[in-house]
Amino acid sequence: MVQETARAFAHDHLRPRDREFESARGVAPHVHHLYRDLGLAGLELPEALGGADLGAFARTLVNEELAAADAGAALALDPLGPALYPLIAFGGDDALRAHAVPLLERAGARAVLALDLLPRLETLGGRARGILPWVPADRVDLLVVLERERAYVVSDGLHLTQLRGAALRAAGASELRVDGVARPADWVSTPRARWALAHARLYVASLLVGVMRAAAEFSRAYAMERVAFGRPIAHHQALAFLISDMASAVDGARLLVQEAAWRLDRAADLAAEPDIDGGAEACATAFLEAAEAALFVTPNGVQILGGHGFMQDYPVEKWMREARALSLLLGGVDAAREDAGRALLSDAEPLALDPASRSAAGAP
Amino acid sequence: MDFVLDDTTRERLRQIRDLGRTYMRPLGLEADRLGRPTPPEDPFFKLLVQLGLGRTRWSGEPGVEPAAARAHGGGGARSVVVLAEEMSYWDRGVAVSFPGPGLGEPPVLSMGTPEQQQRFLEPFRKPDRPRWAAFAMTEPGAGSDVAGIRTSARREGDCYVLNGAKSFAANASRADWIVVFATVDPSLGREGHRAFVVERGTPGLGDFQVEHKMGLKAYESTSFTLKNCRVPAANLLGDEEHYARRAGFKGAMQSFNATRPTIAAMAVGMGRAALDETLAFAREHGLLRESRARDRLERIRRRLRAARLLCWRAAWLADLRRPNMLEASMAKAVAPAVALEAAIFGMDLLGEVGGRGDHLVEKLFRDVKAMDIVEGTGQIQRIVMARQLVHLPRDGAT
């Protein structure tokens, strides 16, 4: 149901205006209102806070639909985005009430999540200082910083310098200089940080699935229309096979994303604590696959359209840039590869079929 | 799609794991070392019969078609796919050598008259000893292009006279009967095909030759010839009217397929075995400290997991009786290549240990290549996919 709502909204209001949003660096105000009225803004918030209380699986469905129309708009429209997850993991309802709910009521407000592994921001005497080279936003009301073992938020001293941005321009693009109060000090917990990162990766991975689906679908349809050497180019076997492999890449990535979401939701049902039952590894794996598949599918989408693909009259070049930019978020593929690979150290039979023997393996 | 396995399937998984660890893996390695199939008199086959394995899915009630779900005692096609993966994890060659009606069973079930089902499948209901049946379509000159088979069938009185040669038929020399496909008129393509049950000892059936394969040595892939082989007309599966009817429904047939995801799942199982063996080797030699090794193992795990989910989805659609031609071919196109990659990388990590020729990963490297060939090559799968995706025509372009 929520998937159909998202699909119809994306089809009617996002896809036809993607280039307009891109050049305006933002989404038209009435589209923001529609998005909120449909209940998409508080998808994963508890009902008590005015949300729909849906889980990770629903999130992957919605994100795929929105990103298949316009991934930049998907980011622009969600005031919380993946910044939601550290708030839930570390602060619970109180943190959501303090930080998330106010953003929902402020038109165009944005929270941004920074995964800070190096770290790039230093925190001394309760202040966070440093520079984030790129955030996909022109406005940041709340910065949520996630590290391996802790999280904190910054809501003052956020200075933005607008950038052109490689992609996702509908959401904006800025360098973010931070010099503000970091609070609270006691959000420290490795399992909670892993839980938040797992959900955040799934959020971005499902956007990637949407982007590559759009590219695969569009180029497939184009290849059936375009004629060369006496037949539709799709009927030349080199392209017929490529189009088949692109479809496999999209479906394989989507199944990994959905299975990872299922693991997160199942863990949420089973335990009060944010305990994840192999979910963290599955989400890192899904992110990685989504990134690799998207970077196979979207450049080939351009390739199938040939010279037209390179022109901005067609959307395929935009999807190629979006796939590249999205897969740079949250530490990108190398951080995901590191996390997914480390899970091999503790797991003797990583793909054993009997779930009973697996329940303890991935728990933090 | 539901990602949970039902309890029956999990129970069967445990049974297979026990059999696999104790018997299948060692038997597979032995056959590989000796370079010959496990002989039909091996006690393992008697044990399987005692355990109630190797029986027919046929219900025993003429005219009652066995539902896939009931037949495999669990969750239908998906259950079959899951169990096939586990069997092949332990040894795919041994799995194919299991007694039972095997690939001969589906044509008898789908085309055979109630009397034929009774005749040929009754001995497989509660077999007194290990029994096999076989299936023979492939010929020296016709593999993926099945329309090109040349084995001929000519009606003579109460018999059909068969002439031709068949290749690579699993378990054929030990089979009670073989379903042989022949043509009454090569110019008709598949419409000219007829399926015959040729029983062991029929005069003219002979020249059995167990082929020498690169891998999967535990089961016999056998070539044989039919020389003026007179088969009773009662052994033509269905009857002539059946084939006339079927020709009229061309195209409506085969809207779903459960075999390709099963074969694909076998590849996943073999790839998983290569992954686990490689991981064990890497642990033992402290190689996991290096991210170069971890990264590649991670990729293998990820691609195998995606391939498994593609198999599950195709099977799940088959269980729902929903069209799955695209999804079934997708699973089959993806999984064997991933599994081969797992074995190739495993050999990389083993280094010269892999070069010795006595490591399980090296055996898997040879075994798994077959999976991209049987039941439609990877290329054929992409053609089937392209027919669905871009309406690739069946003529000149392919």
The complex's ipTM?
A: 0.91
Enumerate residues 323 to 352 of chain B having a beta carbon within 8 A of any beta carbon in chain A: 326-327, 330, 333-334
**Residue B145 burial (10 A CB sphere; 0-12, 13-18, 19+):** exposed
Let me know: does A330 contact A204? Beta carbons within 8 Å: yes
> What distance in Å separates the CA atoms of residue B77 and residue A19, rounded to the nearest whole number?
46
Residue found under tokens 């269905």: B238
> What distance in Å separates the CA atoms of residue B215 and residue B371, rounded to the nearest whole number?
11
The confidence score (pLDDT) of residue B257 equals: 85
Residues of A in contact with B297 (CB under 8 A): 341, 344
Nearest partner of B197 among B254, B237, B144, judged by Cα: B237
Q: Hey, what's the torsion of the CAs at B68, B73, B75, B77, to 10 degrees?
A: -40
Are the Cβ atoms of B382 and A240 closer than 8 angstroms? yes
The confidence score (pLDDT) of residue B253 equals: 46
Mean pLDDT of the region B233-247: 85
> What distance in Å separates the CA atoms of residue A54 and residue A265, rounded to the nearest whole number?
9
> What distance in Å separates the CA atoms of residue B42 and residue B31, rounded to the nearest whole number?
12
> What distance in Å separates the CA atoms of residue A212 and residue A16, rounded to the nearest whole number?
18
- Band of pLDDT at residue B60, cut at 50, 70 and 90: confident
Mean pLDDT of the region B303-322: 95
List the pLDDT tens digit at each of the 364 positions of chain A. Answer: 899 999 999 999 999 999 999 999 999 999 999 999 999 988 999 999 989 999 999 999 999 999 999 999 999 999 999 999 999 999 999 999 999 999 998 888 999 999 999 899 999 999 999 999 999 999 999 999 999 999 999 999 999 999 999 999 999 999 999 999 999 999 999 999 999 999 999 999 999 999 999 999 999 999 999 999 999 999 999 999 999 999 999 999 999 999 999 999 988 766 545 445 578 999 999 999 999 999 999 999 999 999 999 999 999 999 999 999 999 999 999 999 999 998 898 888 889 987 554 443 333 3
Higher pLDDT, A83 or B244: A83
E-assigned strand segments in A118-207:
122-124, 127-135, 142-146, 151-154, 158-162, 174-181
E-assigned strand segments in chain B:
132-136, 152-156, 159-170, 175-183, 193-199, 205-210, 221-232
Percent helix, strand and coil across chain B, each to the nearest 5:
55, 15, 30
Helix ranges (H only) for B215-290 are 240-248, 259-284
Kindly state the greatest CA–CA separation across chain A.
72
What is the distance of C-alpha B18 from the center of its chain? 22
> What distance in Å separates the CA atoms of residue B218 and residue B205, rounded to the nearest whole number?
24
Taking the CB of residue A92, how many other CB atoms lie within 10 A of it?
A: 12
Nearest partner of A177 among A134, A142, A147, judged by Cα: A134
> What distance in Å separates the CA atoms of residue B228 and residue B152, rounded to the nearest whole number?
10
Catalytic-residue membership of B375: yes
> What distance in Å separates the CA atoms of residue A256 and residue B309, rounded to the nearest whole number?
8
**Residue at B116: amino acid letter:** Q
Pick the range with the lowest mean pLDDT from A27-36, B18-27, B147-156, B253-262: B253-262
Enumerate residues 289 to 318 of chain B having a beta carbon within 8 A of any beta carbon in chain A: 291, 294-295, 297-298, 301-310, 313
What value does the CA radius of gyration of chain B take, rounded to a whole number of Å? 21
Are the Cβ atoms of A350 and B291 closer than 8 angstroms? no
Are the Cβ atoms of B334 and A253 closer than 8 angstroms? no
For the cut 70, the answer to whether the pLDDT of residue B74 exceeds it is no
